[in-house]
Chain A
Amino acid sequence: MLRFKGAFAVFGMAALAVTGTAVSPEASAEGWPTESQCRSVENPSVEIEGWCTAINRRQGNCLSCHTILVNPWPEGFPPGGNVAPPLVSMKQRFPDTEKLRAQIHDASQFNEHSRMPPFGKHGILSEEQIDAIVAFLLTI
């Protein structure tokens, strides 16, 4: 049953793409795309771009270690790992946006033993991708 619903969700996304209706920030309020749905999102908002970069396994792959509390969680999409703290209330936890950005860019500057990959310093993500992830994180 769940799987059936999931199939409809995918179909819905595809239909949106086909009719040329962009998934706008408003549309994202109805649901966050899964990793595969991200590929067919047209003209994404910077938040959706950040989310898609964050969950892409070849890019941020944040879900490898973090759970991300977005609501509603995309149906049928596997949850995140528990190596690192859940990404929740980010705006409250990081009143200083630059601190959040710096943590993603190179966590080792705050803790040399950090197990968080230095996404900016090692060129895992571009500066723009990091900006998008920060923008996304500040919405949750």
Chain B
Amino acid sequence: MRKLPIAVLAAALSATAVSFGAAAQSNNSAGTGLEVVDEAMPDSVAADVAAFQGYFRERFPEVEFDAYNDGVNALPQYAERRENWVLLMEFPPYEEHVERGREEWNTPFANGKTFADCAKDWPPANVYPVYVPETDDLRTIVGDINACLEANGEEPIKNLNNGKMARLVIAYKEQFNGERINVDVSHPGAAKWYEKGKEFYWTKRGQLNFSCADCHVHSSGQSVRGDVLSAGLGHTSGFPVYRTKWALGGKPLGTVHRRYGGCNRQVRASSFKSQGPEYKALEMYEAVMNTGIPLKVPSQRQ
């Protein structure tokens, strides 16, 4: 798990016909702090990352790499409304929820232990989802929180989408804000999960027949009526988020799987279970595509 900062990838991305695999091998970089990739990232995955990130670099040349964690707010097509968002962030609407999450994080279980005791053994938030060879499964922070509760004789949280679970995930992830997303896909089992998520991302589904990529790659920055479609790059970096649309329904916070479910239903597909294999794989793929983007948790979204 040695990490190396590579501006090399970045440099490769701006060029057109470059062998990305070769670029990822090179470890000498001269640029300003950009992507960080796992040295052991398989070449095919590194090439995917380079192609994905290069696409956005070309599509939105004025957007700084790190700014993608601001979601749609980073895009020039959203510039008119960006000012409102900047004002909103002076007193972020999620603050009270973050505070409450910290309290919950630090509240002892019946046995006197807290989440912090569990989290001492957890990987840093920026490397999730984490592949577990023994079970051929992916660890997510949501899963680890419930595992911690069960290990301490407490009831696991049933609602995996919003409320307390989202607050606790924020309480863990916010400790790693600024750390760059860097998921380990070096194990062949992890690569399988990655491929499964990649297939999900690019497959058209639902009555409206949209893939994730149709909107968030090919149409990113374009307007669907009054809304601007966000760029796929940066997607996972701010979750759980405070979403204004969700706030109107009284449940402002949501995990990334909650958002996936909403997206699937919007294209009139059936949604999958939160923390089920489909969304864990998708989270894996998106996180890998977001390699190098700094965490910014929670974030506000429309």
Contact = CB atoms under 8 A, between A and B. Distances in A.
A64 B225 CA distance: 5
A6 B228 CA distance: 26
A92 B147 CA distance: 63
B208 interface: yes
B223 A81 contact: yes
A64 B219 CA distance: 12
A121 to B, nearest CB: 9
Q: How large is the interface on A (under 10, 10 to 19, 20 to 34, 35 or more residues)?
A: 10 to 19
A83 B221 CA distance: 9
Nearest to A124: B207
A83 B219 contact: yes
Interface in B32-59: none
B266 to A, nearest CB: 11
A86 interface: no
Contact of A115 (B207, B218, B225, B226): B218
Contact of A117 (B209, B223, B224): B209
B214 interface: yes
A63 interface: yes
Contacts of A89: none
A122 B210 CA distance: 12
B224 A115 contact: no
B55 to A, nearest CB: 15
Secondary structure class of chain B's binding surface, majority of residues: loop
Contacts of A123: 207
Secondary structure class of chain A's binding surface, majority of residues: loop
Nearest to B222: A83
Contact of B207 (A65, A78, A108, A122): A122
Nearest to B210: A115
Contacts of A83: 219, 222-224, 229
A82 B228 CA distance: 10
A82 B223 contact: yes
Contacts of A80: 225
Interface in A98-130: 108, 115, 117-118, 122-124
Contacts of A65: 224
A80 B7 CA distance: 40
A124 B223 CA distance: 22
Contact of B214 (A78, A115, A118): A115
Contacts of B223: 81-83
Instruction: Report which residue of B210, B214, B225, B229 has the largest number of chain A beta carbons within 10 angstroms of its beta carbon.
Output: B225
B216 to A, nearest CB: 12
Interface of A: 63-65, 78, 80-83, 108, 115, 117-118, 122-124
9 nearest interchain CB pairs?
A: A81-B223, A117-B208, A81-B224, A83-B222, A64-B224, A115-B214, A122-B207, A83-B219, A82-B223
Interface of B: 207-210, 214-215, 218-219, 222-226, 229
